[in-house]
Structure 1
């Protein structure tokens, strides 16, 4: 006969095992192939979502398709369009470690704690999580500010953690310096033969990954007139924003290459200024410009995290 202590132990063991499950390996090791978890979907978000109207934050939300807490544009990232009417203010206070902003139009003041700085069209800036960020649009009547904004809140929601330590300080990347760096790269010998003509925004605190924050990667790239940039792929999701283009710029996306290094049965995404689109992780993608002017693309990815995990697995078509 069990004594009371033994009975209590067995009851506790039963309770602790209530959630335990055991799966056969080959049927469960690939949850995407087994359709247990969804793939990251293709999706395009147009500038009409934030071109007019009142001050607001517009989540580019795919949480229903991804099966994760809203808002989420990818399993680890949430992208947003932001519109701030002249003289008005918006606060950002996600449970995130990294907030990245690109100023599409307008100008204003960004602040976090005791740090306060001005930004203008074309600037990038990053803020650490853990404290609210406030952005105020300039008060001139025609100075409505529009931003593209990405954070890593979905990653923290999945991990069940809260941001408590700032891994970097607010950092500003002025448009003039980023554009000059891109011009230098574009004019370098052999630039036209590179898979991408781009710069990566970095932060001195992350020398191992050379990324804009410890979790985020931000690229500023150009596709010259009447050129194409060959396919490449990586295991990080890409949240691509088009800052400027003319009709005739587009991206092809697909899962496989043929023997000539071309994407098989690609999905075509025609570029429009101010739009954003999702390039799923692991998919081949190539950029084309059949117009007479430069096209500019800004991919923001969770490649800071993927690079640190040694899992980015970036590959280039030959």
Structure 2
């Protein structure tokens, strides 16, 4: 049967390849190359995963894995990011060597020691730290500790790439202690926010990525706040966002038409380019930690941030 519509044509193979390199070629056209339908990134508030980690039944991981919905052949929460919780029981250790460029961590509770290559640090509740991918790393808990982490594992899995380590690595180990975070946030609160800013937020960066103001080449991290009985106006951006609900009662987010009520340590998934807003109906300040794959979009000049 003759197919006249380009969009209906199957992939074309080389007619008579002379080499293996020629045989590996494939050909599409302007009708059938751009009609792939990928599953959308779903708006979601993930509560079961933190509950499982905070049950503290065993040392190990709880992945926020939506790969089946996303059509990804590897664990993923968004196409380029994977959120996970980790529990390390008192006296236990957990290997946290990950295949990613970098992973961003928050200590939900407990105390622990982390060994990253030849460096060590003591960790406590409210600390943030950045781990370089591919570097042998281990957490040893002195008392049971629970963590939230986001890495760009799916990005590397999609490219079938491995992290670069050593002097050419894109990131290094960085520790942001809770008391320093509190101080830096107080400094921010000592200044007025103008109409062009999205409230009072602390943005995390590191020495290698200071020029881009990101925490890692493709990842951004901010600790956002909402004063009592206030809200962040509806807005959108082309990056996906994974948000950890740190404090706020009652607080919620609107993602499109979906209302996502916060619960302690839940993870909110905001799809790329989706209209969303955050609301604090309580009498105390709300705080939420946001990781985005925004570094990609800043670099490509396509962040697309705007208020409605």
Which TM-score tier does this pair reach, normalised by the shorter chain?
A: 0.7 to 0.9
Change in CA separation of 1:130 and 1:44 when aligned onto 2, cut-off 3 Å = same
Please give the residue correspondences for 1:1-318 in structure 2 after superposition, counting only pairs within 5 Å. 10-12=16-18, 16=22, 20-25=26-31, 29=34, 31=36, 36-46=37-47, 47-52=50-55, 53-138=57-142, 143-165=143-165, 166-190=169-193, 194-247=197-250, 249-254=251-256, 266-317=257-308
Aligned residue pairs, count: 288
- Structure 2 residue matching 1:106: 3-state secondary structure: strand
- Structure 1 residue matching 2:18: 3-state secondary structure: helix
Check conservation: 2:239, 2:297, Cα contact below 8 A: yes
Q: Deviations over 1:36-58 (max 9, x none)?
A: 11111122221312111111110
1:316 CA displacement = 2.1
Q: Could you tell me which runs of 5 or more consecutive residues in structure 2 were left unpaired when the two chains were aligned.
A: 1-14
Check conservation: 1:103, 1:146, Cα contact below 8 A: yes
Check conservation: 1:250, 1:270, Cα contact below 8 A: yes
TM-score, normalised to structure 2, is 0.87
Q: Deviations over 1:177-229 (max 9, x none)?
A: 11222222234224698423211101121133201111211110111111111
Q: Deviations over 1:225-284 (max 9, x none)?
A: 11111122111110110111212x111112xxxxxxxxxxx2111011111110001112
Q: Could you tell me which runs of 5 or more consecutive residues in structure 1 were left unpaired when the two chains were aligned.
A: 1-8, 255-265
- Matched residues in 1 for 2:195 and 2:127: separation? 26
TM-score, normalised to structure 1, is 0.84
- Matched residues in 2 for 1:207 and 1:134: separation? 26
1:13 CA displacement = 6.3
- Structure 1 residue matching 2:90: 3-state secondary structure: coil
Root-mean-square deviation (CA, aligned residues, Å) is 2.1
Change in CA separation of 1:314 and 1:30 when aligned onto 2, cut-off 3 Å = farther
- Matched residues in 2 for 1:132 and 1:206: separation? 22
- Matched residues in 2 for 1:190 and 1:238: separation? 22
Check conservation: 2:100, 2:163, Cα contact below 8 A: yes
- Structure 2 residue matching 1:12: 3-state secondary structure: coil
- Matched residues in 2 for 1:126 and 1:148: separation? 12
- Structure 1 residue matching 2:297: 3-state secondary structure: helix
- Matched residues in 2 for 1:190 and 1:15: separation? 58
Check conservation: 1:306, 1:312, Cα contact below 8 A: yes
- Matched residues in 2 for 1:230 and 1:11: separation? 58
